[in-house]
Structure 1
């Protein structure tokens, strides 16, 4: 196992510890089996390695499922050998790249009760629906892209606490004033965040163009490797899914005509619906439904947006401001754990309670007139008033 130890030591030397993602404080690392899902480049590996650096390396081991070691060794026998050598913590990166991940994790959990296992996986992987039943064993968490608050912290612009949606809606003027006492021109940073701030890989790039190129490659890898591997897509299906994403990227926010898409792509209606769900599981798009509508695989979404605003810039030439606004609000609220639906009056209904109407600084209140628990969310304003809230403040929810 010497190769694995050397690999671990090399990896740990370059792991920063100053900035930790929001999920770090939420994960119960002492549990026996914990999985972290998320899109490529979001920081899953860094999060687990930051934790590993707090542990005794005499009893902790990091491995990645695509390491050449596994050409000749199984995951289970590796865990068993490490356990014999006194190992009590095994960190497995990109477990979805290992063919029998689910059954072998189950066997490790059942057969090595003193071994803790932490693992990362693609956002498209349903940890609870593998070959073996992990629902009673594994705790699963999703690491989303960065909030605007995290972006400010990563780039050492300013550090701010998280505040709840209730705090935001009821006390937004005071919160905005407190933030602006330490952050001049929040809108300047916010515009940069919308374009290049969602993934922490931006800290490693020197320009918006480089960030865009790396993000495009990331999206392509999700389509060509993660989704293709997990769902056994043929080369023809991969090509058609890329075409589907191209159609969506040009039209978002998109009110889907499923039959029209099926005809264009020369596949069945159910296949299109399945691909839309796969793209959402892969954190490429977000399918939004009207309140009361089903959200099963074969239920048509009522609106489709890209998962985050950075993707709008990567996949489109000049993203529409209205599109960016809807995408940002849907992204930040969903990532913070809120339930989001399309509203009959206004744009979104959140947690079956709050109505939000999203627009630019000239947006009027007429769409939500007469409604209680209703707010206008305005872009391009620093301060709000009464039930008018600056859009950038929604970036502090996680």
Structure 2
């Protein structure tokens, strides 16, 4: 136990976390069992350690961070460890990489039922269906999703500011005033292209080649998060990788499931399941007409983040695809996006028709809203694209 406390103290003391994540204030800390899901690379470990530092500090032994990937847990149960931690005065246990531990959901349920004075916060992959596939935790776990940096968080970090979030309704109604206020302090367009390329994943702060690191992360998501959690045989990995490549090089696109099944030599049903796995893993996004959902074929598939577009085919990046992907990614946290009728790109919350445009030199349809890339301050129904990065 003491060695875990030493590791905890070292990690908290040496934590580099320049951005306080908004999720910290969204979580109801009165819950006793809290699950933080997020795709690989968005900073789940950093989030747990930031929680420890903010609420307890490095030396307070009432809180302990442990990684369940540790070999120690090959012969020691989580239940025994939690029991000993409580006996030593522990109150909050922070568990990382929970899916690497066998029977994790059953043991978490046991801890929840029997250690009522212990709070447990654990992280897991977005591929995990905490409630749907783990009946032990149904009704017991409060689940949250940690996303990558918004453009607002990236801009605050890079420019040393602390701009607040805005709701979609605030942006639609007051975008001119909001944009003028922000642009009087900083030039957001000077940072926007960098964000589209590498600002979503916090590991851009590391002194490593970002594109190589992102490719490595994407492969780890496929090899560990998807194959391991979904219990898919390793021999199917090349098919999954090829499907991701085929979709990524054409996204946004309407998937031709029959053609894809021929290309990766598998059934149409398997192709649809794989697309769903890629979506659960936060590598892809699916766009449906209103009222439709999986297992129906999506009307379009997108990459999950604009950052994911660049390393696939860096010399052939479609900037319109980047713009639409950014818009989808930033709005999906609190809004529902569907295929739009007529000539719009997205129907948002079944209310707003949006087109994503490069500049304002377009024919203006008063029934649409336009998210426009190359403009700092908009007018009327023309809203700067970058401003949709302030939704979280």
TM range (shorter): over 0.9
Distance across 2 between alignment mates of 1:362 and 1:178: 21
Q: Secondary structure at the match of 2:332?
A: helix
Q: Is the 8 A contact 1:102 1:130 kept in 2?
A: no
Distance across 2 between alignment mates of 1:77 and 1:240: 41
Paired residues, number: 387
How far apart are residue 94 of structure 1 and its match?
1.3
TM (norm. structure 2) is: 0.95
Deviations 1:170-210 (A, max 9, x none): 111111110110013x212001110010011111236xxx1
Distance across 2 between alignment mates of 1:180 and 1:309: 23
> Which residue does 1:341 correspond to in 2?
338
Distance across 2 between alignment mates of 1:106 and 1:130: 14
Asked if residue 55 in structure 1 is aligned to residue 56 in structure 2, the reply is yes
Q: Secondary structure at the match of 1:127?
A: coil
How far apart are residue 363 of structure 1 and its match?
5.1
Find the partner of 1:67 among 62, 65, 70: 70
TM alignment of 1:141-160, pairs within 5 A: 141-160=144-163
TM alignment of 1:26-175, pairs within 5 A: 26-53=26-53, 54-55=55-56, 57-175=60-178
How far apart are residue 19 of structure 1 and its match?
2.3
Q: Is the 8 A contact 1:283 1:307 kept in 2?
A: yes
Find the partner of 1:301 among 293, 298, 302: 298
Find the partner of 1:204 among 206, 210, 223: 206
TM alignment of 1:251-262, pairs within 5 A: 251-262=250-261
Distance across 1 between alignment mates of 2:129 and 2:360: 43
> Which residue does 1:361 correspond to in 2?
359
Q: Is the 8 A contact 1:35 1:141 kept in 2?
A: yes
Q: Is the 8 A contact 1:289 1:301 kept in 2?
A: yes
Q: Secondary structure at the match of 1:356?
A: strand
Find the partner of 2:386 among 359, 368, 392: 392
Q: Is the 8 A contact 2:152 2:389 kept in 1?
A: yes
How far apart are residue 236 of structure 1 and its match?
2.1
Root-mean-square deviation over aligned CA pairs? 1.5
> Which residue does 1:284 correspond to in 2?
283
Q: Is the 8 A contact 1:103 1:132 kept in 2?
A: no
Distance across 1 between alignment mates of 2:290 and 2:135: 34
5+ residue gaps, structure 2: none
> Which residue does 2:15 correspond to in 1?
15
5+ residue gaps, structure 1: none
Q: Is the 8 A contact 2:360 2:382 kept in 1?
A: no
Deviations 1:33-75 (A, max 9, x none): 0010001121111112111122272221111110111121111
Q: Secondary structure at the match of 2:200?
A: coil
Q: Is the 8 A contact 1:155 1:203 kept in 2?
A: no
> Which residue does 1:4 correspond to in 2?
4
Distance across 2 between alignment mates of 1:362 and 1:155: 27
Q: Is the 8 A contact 1:36 1:143 kept in 2?
A: yes
Find the partner of 1:189 among 185, 188, 191: 191
Q: Is the 8 A contact 1:363 1:378 kept in 2?
A: no
Find the partner of 1:382 among 373, 376, 386: 376
Q: Secondary structure at the match of 2:131?
A: helix
> Which residue does 2:221 correspond to in 1?
222
Q: Secondary structure at the match of 1:155?
A: helix
Deviations 1:95-148 (A, max 9, x none): 111121111111110111111000011111111134443121000000111111
Q: Is the 8 A contact 2:366 2:381 kept in 1?
A: no
